[in-house]
Structure 1
Amino acid sequence: MPKQITPEFSRIVKTDEQVAKKNKISIEANEKERVALAERFELVAINSLTAELTITTAGNGEVTLRGPLHADIVQRCVTTLEPVPELVDDEVEVLFSPHISEEDLPSNPDDLDDLSEEELMALLDQPEPLVDGKIDVGEVVSQYLAVAMNPYPRTDGAEMPDEAGAKDEVEERPNPFAKLAGLKEQLEKKN
């Protein structure tokens, strides 16, 4: 049986116990959770992480989780490794369905290799499984943060090294076999 992983920022909502069809919740990661998430995402720090979410339950049992998330994070510059602060604002929107099971979804990345583009797009549009009427809204917010933050943070003025220039430098180095070719020509002229 696979080992159960406990998310760093976990807020379980039991949708089957909700009285109203629409509920609003506010969640905020505490210091310990922010430190653990920063380690998970290889960040310098997460100074704040909050979300204001609306949970709406439809008559067919499907649940929509929607609302803004806000985070104040610090990453490392991809060129200088200096700290780069970033404010992340994103909109969470996920549909959960009790009619989808985890077995219906690919279990590892290799399962996606043989799928067509249309099949991949259909997977993206498919609802997430709603298991036992529970949603970990903290983990959902964490995943949205991971996708929303800048994948290539840079300090002001920092630029990526010019790879084309590096290739030119390699090509400009003398070819050690060029001397042998010249020596061969000289020997042939003498004969």
Structure 2
Amino acid sequence: MPEQITPEFSRIVNTDEQVGKKSKIEIEANEKEREALAERFELIAINSLKATLTTTTAGNGEVTLRGPMHADIVQRCVATLEPVPETIEDEVEVLFSPHVSEDDLPSNPDDLDDLSEEELMALLDQPEPLVDGKIDVGEVVAQFLAVAMNPYPRKDGAKVADVVKSEDEEERPNPFAKLAGLKDKLEKKN
């Protein structure tokens, strides 16, 4: 059995008592949780992370989790490694079902290799498993943050070419120029 890891930002909601009801949940990560999430996502900092979510439980036991999420993060520029602040506004929406088992889902990326495009799309549309009527809404928000942030943050005006070329590289002689000179000398001897 795989080892259970406790998420950095965990807020467990028990949906068993909410059949046919809507419940509003406001969550906000504290400083320690934001620092741990920043380390997990390899960010410089997460200055704020909060969400206002509504859970709606249907008669068949399925639960819809929906609502806005807000985060202020700081990443490293992909070109200069300087800090790049980013504000993220996203809408969380997930359907959980007690009729879906974690055993029905692929356990590793290799399991997806043999699936057709239609099968992959069906997996994306499939509800998340609802185990024992509990949802970790904090982890759901953390996962939405990970998907919503810019994968290639760039500081205004930063160019990759400016970073790649350094003064030392510009002054170094071209090794192929030496080979061309050697070739000329050999041809003159013959």
Q: TM-score, normalised by structure 1?
A: 0.86
Cα 1:110–1:32, aligned 2, differ >3 Å: closer, same or farther? same
Deviations 1:57-116 (A, max 9, x none): 111111000000000111111111111111000000000000000000000000001111
Aligned residue runs from structure 1 range 68-107, under 5 A:
68-107=68-107
Amino acid of the structure 1 residue aligned with 2:61: G
Deviations 1:35-55 (A, max 9, x none): 000000000000100000010
CA RMSD between the two structures:
2.2
Deviations 1:5-34 (A, max 9, x none): 000000000000226511111000001000
The 4+ residue runs of structure 1 with deviation greater than 4 A are 175-183
Q: State how far apart, in whole Å, the 2-side matches of 1:121 and 1:63 are.
A: 21
Q: State how far apart, in whole Å, the 1-side matches of 2:6 and 2:181 are.
A: 61
Amino acid of the structure 2 residue aligned with 1:174: F
Q: State how far apart, in whole Å, the 2-side matches of 1:25 and 1:2 are.
A: 30
Q: Secondary structure at the match of 2:24?
A: strand
- 2:31 aligns with 31
Name the count of aligned residue pairs. Answer: 180
- 1:110 aligns with 110
State the percentage of identical aligned residues.
Answer: 79
- 2:67 aligns with 67
Q: Secondary structure at the match of 2:50?
A: strand
1:160 Cα deviation after fit: 2.6
Deviation larger for 14-23 or 138-147: 14-23
1:119 Cα deviation after fit: 0.8
Q: Secondary structure at the match of 1:161?
A: helix
Matched, 1:57 2:60: no
Contiguous gaps of at least 5 residues in structure 1: 166-171
- 1:9 aligns with 9
Q: TM-score, normalised by structure 2?
A: 0.86
